[in-house]
Structures are given as C-alpha cells and as structure tokens.
Amino acid sequence: MPAYPLFPAVNPGWDNEPRRSGRGRVYAHASPRGYRDWLADTLIQRAPKLPQSQRLVFINAWNEWAEGAVLEPDARLGHAWLDATRRALQQAAGATPPADPHPYAVIHAWYPEVLDELVRALRNSGLDWRLIVTTAPERETEVRARLAQQAPDAELEVFPNHGRDVLPFLHVANRLLDEGARVMLKLHTKRSTHRRDGDTWRGELLSRLLSPARAAAIAQGFDKDPTLGLVAAEGHVQPLHYYWGANRDTVQLLSVLLGIPEPDPERDTFIAGTMFWARLDALRPLLDAHLDPWRFESEAGQVDGTFAHAVERIIALAARSTGFHTATAVALSGEPEPDDAYPYARRDH
C-alpha cells in the first residue's frame, strides 16, 4: 500500500463501449461468483492493512446503460450480484457455512418408469445421498408418486421440457455450488429410444458409476485428490473428433463464452452419455457463464447437434481449464481399463 490513503475498490463488471464506441473497455467473463471472490479477497487481504478509521472498500457500480457495471437486480440474473455481495461480507466475517460433505445425486426424470431403477442403484451403492430430481410439468404427477414410494426425502424441481437433461442440471448445480455442496453425481433416465440398445447403455453407465465398491472408491478419490474434477464411466471418455461435425461450431462458441482455450478435437476428449461424478468447483467456468435458456433449442427429438450436445462436449474441457482433471471409475477402483470399441455412437468420418 502507498504512503497516501488509498481505498481499494471492486466492481461487478465493466463495459463502457456504449459511451466510448470503438475505444471502450470490457471485463470479459464477469460473473457474480467472480465478483464475490474479488470482493471477499479485498475485504480479507487488503482492508485490514488500512487504519481502522479508514477501513473502507468501494464498489464501483452504476444503474445506467453506459458502463455496464450493474449491482442492482436485473432481468437476467435477478438478485445474483447483491447476493454475491452478501456472501462476500459473510466470508470476510468468518460466517460462511462449511462445505456439505454429503454427495448429491441429481436425476433428470423424463422417463418416470426408469426412475425406480436409478433410485435403487443409489440406495444399493451404500453412500448417504442427498437426492434432487428434476422433471418437466407433464411428468410431474407420476414422478411425485414414484418418489413418494421410493425416495420420500428427495427434493423435486420442475422445469419446462427444454434443454433435455442438461439445462435442468445447470440450474440445480448452480444452486448447489452456492449452497456449499461439494460433490455430485449427474444421472438421467436415459433410454435413447432412437436406439435398440438404449437400456443397455443406461445399465452400463449405472453399474460402472454406482456399484457399491466403485461408489466408495470414487467418493474417497474426491476426498484424497483435490485436483480430481470429474469421474466418468470407463469406455465413455471419447475423443472429441469422433463425434465433432454437428457440434463443432457450437463447442467453439462455448469455449469463447466460458473463457477457456479453444478445443483441440484431435487430442481432447469428452464424457459421452452425460452421466458422471463432478466436483462442483470444477464446473465453475460452465456455471459462471450463466448460459441463457434461449440458447437451447426447442425439443424436436434431435439426436445430435443441439446446444445441449455441445455442453456435453465442453464439460471436461471447462474443468481442465481451471486445473482439474478427469478420471475413470475403473481407474479409481484399481481395475484395468477396457479397450473395446465404443458401441453407442457412430464415429464421424
């Protein structure tokens, strides 16, 4: 700190291009959580160096169009910036709640008749899960009835039938990250009705991610290795270029929106099937982007090339961009990796 009084300041974002056309400055990838971290670090690390009578931190924010640094509620993110301010103050005061050690399971239930199978797999895994189920309004009644029988303590969230299992997952994961959840398992009632082996595909994913020995080893892996970001079923980590064509442009767009390096389709991989374990902190580039629902196409039975398919292909890349790595369930359980060809999708040529 200099000899003269200098009061630290932060701001939620910045974009003065409207006022200074062609000469503006923009904070790319600003997010409420990024602003929260900046404010908390300033309160904890810099403010205490000031004399007690001068211990002030300023937030530079405007309620007008010209600077794009808005702290007030807005139509897109609601009270997220004000909530981030509150959380930063709580963190600086040492009042942040501890991380929740329980693993969370998030199931998207579009096919209610499959939900019982997934709940049984969770119960048989031997772990103490906290279960959140998402579904669409047209499936809500049946899903509620099945949960009342199979998992009465589960939490149910209802979203429009939009964005398949991916958009509801983003909504829930974003909330869980703010609430202190640490590790989650993403599942969905996968049937892939355009294929004859859709049920086999789902069964294989469940057994590889949730068998009792596997589930315990994966949970321990997250405890032991702070750089472990994602765990996939073996055989389901696939080269990006195998299934690249219909998703290339949207994956490249997503890398810009998230602020991560552009993917290398010849070397990078993705987790096929969108069932995996995740450390929620590893998903921050994806969650902090607050992808707008309008980006997801209306449901029309698409089998590839949608925004949801592109998000599926960016998850592992987003985790890697912040220092986390992906492992397979078989590697954590000490078993050999399979070398069979992937039977559930056709390669691009």
Q: Are 201 and 190 in contact (CB under 8 A)?
A: yes
Task: Give the mean pLDDT of 95-109.
Answer: 90
pLDDT of res. 220? 96
pLDDT digits (tens, 9 = 90+) for 211-251: 998 999 999 999 999 999 999 999 999 999 887 889 999 99
Instruction: Name the β-bridge partners of 276.
Output: 186
Given pLDDT bands bounded at 50, 70 and 90, which one contains residue 67? confident
Predicted pLDDT at 349: 45
H-state helical runs in 242-298: 248-258, 284-288
CA distances from 17 to 27, 62, 65, 345 (A): 11, 14, 10, 45
CA atoms within 13 A of residue 315's CA, in its CB half-sphere: 29
Sign of CA dihedral 46, 9, 14, 81: positive
Q: Is the dihedral of CA 192, 198, 204, 206 positive or negative?
A: positive
Instruction: Give the model's confidence band at 101: pLDDT under 50 very low, under 70 low, under 90 confident, else very high.
Output: confident
Judge whether residue 272 has pLDDT over 50: yes
User: Does pLDDT of 195 surpass 60?
Assistant: no
Instruction: Considering only residues 335 and 25, tell me which one the structure prediction assigns the higher pLDDT.
Output: 25
Task: Give the tens place of pLDDT for each residue, 115-147.
Answer: 999 999 999 999 999 999 999 999 999 999 999
Question: Where residue 193 falls among pLDDT bands split at 50, 70, 90?
Answer: low
Mean pLDDT of the chain: 91
Instruction: Report the C-alpha gap between 229 and 184 in whole angstroms.
Output: 11
Give the list of residues 6+ apart from residue 232 with CB closer than 8 angstroms, or none: 271, 276, 277, 316, 326, 327, 328, 329
Q: Residues 336, 330: contact at Cβ < 8 Å?
A: yes
Q: What is the CA radius of gyration of the chain?
A: 22
- Position 336 pLDDT exceeds 90: no
Domains defined for the chain, CATH in brackets: 9-92 (no CATH), 104-332 (3.90.550)
- E strand or H helix at 274, and its extent? none
Task: Please tell me whether the overall predicted TM-score, pTM, comes out greater than 0.85 for this model.
Answer: yes
Residue 54 has pLDDT above 80, yes or no: yes
Whether 346 has a pLDDT exceeding 60, the answer reads no
Mean predicted confidence (pLDDT) in 318-346: 83
